[in-house]
Structure 1
Amino acid sequence: MKNLGFNIKTLLCFTKNLRLADSPLLNWAIQNSEEIMFVISWRDLVRRAGPFRKQFALECLSDLQASLKLRNQELIITCLPLQEFIGHEIKNSIQQIVIDEDVNHEESVQFENIKTICFAANIKLYSKIDSTLTDFQKTVPIFENKSASKNFTFTEFRKEIEKTLSVPAPVEMVDIFPRPMTCTQADYLTTVPALKQSLSDPKVLFKGGESAALKHLNAYFSKTENPINYKNTRNGMLRFEDSTKFSPWLSLGGISARTIYAELKSFENKYGSNESTYWILFELLWRDYFKYNSYLNKEKLFLRSGAKNIKTKILPHELEMDLFTKWKDGATGVDFIDANMLELKKTGWMSNRGRQNVASYLVKIQNVDWRLGASYFEEMLIDYDCASNWGNWSYLAGVGTDPRDRVFNVERQAETYDPEKLYVKKWLHKIAIRGTT
């Protein structure tokens, strides 16, 4: 922390980067403040979330709060939308606000409102988009200028990025914090125990928080067979180790993509690289691609016709809702689809292979509005990420950036990825047993 010579009070707003490590904006705030307050909006964090994501998010907050307490700081959890909290708290002699900016449309609108509040109150606002592997500020102009329609394909994106791939190294955390600042809004605050009481406490496959994220990262790369065989196992649906399982923590910023990349390169330096280790990077680039796609297409990403304005078949409402309900309840009569949907319903998780199949089935076979499926995933998935979820759904619906109009053959997919029907038996059999008790 710098000796600034005068009392600078800072409000640091967590949005989705729920960590202390590798957080350049956090470091900047610590070094440029005499007093600091940390706040997060529970309402914003779990907007439209179901029980699994809420439970995971609560564990993330609990871990973040514990880490801050070790540094004599408090995490303020407000029930208000962040912009409303800021509107009240600016009366507390705050000089500057620091916030992680988001790529997605809804969050961008809120950020513009916060900018307006800060401008009117003569408060300095420091922000940065810091959720990507690549440097967002340096990379986004390439694609803003590349295509007037903003609909560049993943292959175009990947080739452009890989020409001069440069991933910033994770930054060391500054561990000497300013004095904590007192919050004046007791009426608008809540606590982790209070939130916990309001949840149904579902059994969740993943433990939320930065501590759990770093533990999982270390465990994954400690077993050399995991990264070395990733490309061969990534479509598996039964074993936890089949894929990296980094996505839940990435979705709420419990770990940064840069930290994963640094661990990947360390692994390659020690054990060598192959197609599988490259494929881990490949998936991180997919994640980046959808974030740039969301940032550039804004609200168009959420239109039925997509950013490309492609018209799709519209079913009678009653029929569409009947098909959608059977799909989400795992009652289509197609075992491979139903097993995946029941896994999602019971755990908040589904494999990438499963997600592609159930999405293709809903929108290409049943002709249901793809946005119904995307919204259901938003509610249910523990690793929901707005850009990846809506980008993938529009992609598979044929209204996104996929130049091919692909349809998954469910029967063939089941034969390829569940040849002995072990996955189907696991989920359909469990439900059958429950029904007899």
Structure 2
Amino acid sequence: MRSSGGGGGLAASGDGVIEAPRGLAGVVVTRTAIGDVRGGEGFYHYRQYSAVELAQKRSFEDVWYLMVHGALPDAGQSAEFRRQTAALRSIPDAVNGVLPALAEASARSGPLAGLRTALSLFGAAEGFLPVYDTDGARRRAETLAACAVTPTLLTALHRLGRRLEPVAPREDLPYAANYLYMLTGVEPEPAYARAVEQYLISTIDHGFNASTFTARVITSTGADVAACLAGAVGALSGPLHGGAPSRALDTLDAIGSPERIGSWIRERVLAGERIMGFGHPVYRTEDPRSRMLRGIAEQFGGPRVEFAVEVERQVEAILAELKPGRALHTNVEFYAGVVMELCGLPREMFTPTFASARVIGWSANILEQAEDSKIIRPAARYVGPVPPVPVPEPIRD
């Protein structure tokens, strides 16, 4: 790898160690055929297809098939894949028996915290093997099983946490409709199911984000699929990654009414506070996911949507005035929260819902990383006291 000079790029030190920018920003660490984000263009893709166009034209299961197999299915393959994955939705008895205790233990932190443990237990109960010891077919089968059961685990944990009985999955319903059914116990209206499906498709993958990188690091050690996914869930749970959709709605609630938008936003911006739902570390133009979700929200219409659109307009105008030269637009969390609220999802399930889709992208990355036998093992620059410092003798009475 060639070193570069300043400007935050890579630089080689005298001992051969490459100094990278904080957070590995802009550092290419591997090659992938899964997808990419082109931030300057406001575009991202799964394999060779626009992710937004896939969300507009295809089903969740078709895009799942694409992520796993590298090509979109024909009609026969699509029907068979739907049948295959729907049959994997039930929770094994060994896991089902501990879910009430797990839901109680994670009641304060929510279903995403419970999912970390539930996925680990699921992998153990199903006999998942280290990816280092398995072939591609076995790995694919294990990722399909883990992805199919994840929505069932999440909705069961949510309902148990509210002293409600879990709702068993239905094999006759598509992925998104079944998710809403397990969450509420009522078969959803087609418009709501399709809106959630489009949101789920749009969040399956998004470049080399923190949780995807985490999944690949764990995979590089040869660990089993459940361990890789549990680690990715842990990374996603952080508010700087997957935990923001409900916070964006909190912003709308805090503003309260259209006449308060300007003063509320100016006060926060001048105080240096972050406006949740705005700005993205990669996109330098409008987030294409936000654009698509705004269109979905506007199809539903209503005062909440009109208020959100007005907040977006005024926030962008104020940010352009107070922070000239910085293009700050809504990110996926802003309208994701609006759409999920319109479709009846409780706020505590926003990030878990995100996870129920992103598990597909993680799995595709796990499968790809498992083909590379090189462990991911970066270095750190030690900056503590100069060693060796003599160890003092213990003080004796």
The TM-score normalised by the length of structure 2 is 0.26
Higher-strand-fraction structure: 1
